[in-house]
Amino acid sequence: MINDPIKEINIASGTEVKQTAHDFASALAETQPFKNYEQATLRFHQDASAQKDMQEYREKQQSLRPQMKKDAVNPTDQAELEHLHDAWLAHATVLEYLEAQEELVAFCQSLGDLLTEMLGLDFPGTCVTSCCG
């Protein structure tokens, strides 16, 4: 008779799995990168001027999308788009938000890598089937 090593594993209950997922989320919520991101997000959302500049930049970007696809944006529109982008990035709250976001992404990627290594399959990739759809 062949021994099946998989049979030797103690199967975790659904409650146990859910609890460890909650513990994981709680631990992540207490980390500095996550706290920084939450605070930066709040400050960014409360900055009406930064929100207005972001909206203007997005609207311009949206209006130029057909030309951008054809790589046919005229120099005047391109200059205006860059100006709106610079105006948006000039807000301290925006820079703080983008930095906090970058820090959180790197942190979560490390966690995702650790889970991927343990599972032997791409944990984030399995959970998010596509980022383009």
Give the binding site for other proteins (CB under 8 A): 4, 6, 9-12, 16-18, 20-32, 34, 104-105, 107-115, 117-119, 123-128, 131-132
Report in angstroms how near the CB of residue 25 gets to other proteins at its nearest: 4
Residue 35 CB, nearest distance to other proteins (Å)?
11
The angle that helices 48-63 and 75-89 make with each other, rounded to 10 degrees, is 160
Residues 61 and 77: their CA atoms lie apart, in Å, by: 10
- Are 81 and 73 in contact by the 8 Å Cβ rule? The answer is yes
Neighbour-count burial for 24-56, b at 16+ CB within 10 Å, e otherwise: eeeeeeeeebbebbeebbebbeebeebbebbee
69 CB neighbour count, 10 Å cutoff: 9
Min. distance of Cβ 24 from other proteins in angstroms? 4
Nearest to other proteins of 82, 122 (CB atom):
122
**């049979």: which residue's tokens?**
7
Cβ nearer to other proteins, comparing 21 with 98: 21
Closest approach of Cβ 36 to other proteins, in Å? 13
Our CB check for other proteins shows the closer of 66 and 124 to be: 124
Closer by beta carbon to other proteins, 82 or else 102: 102
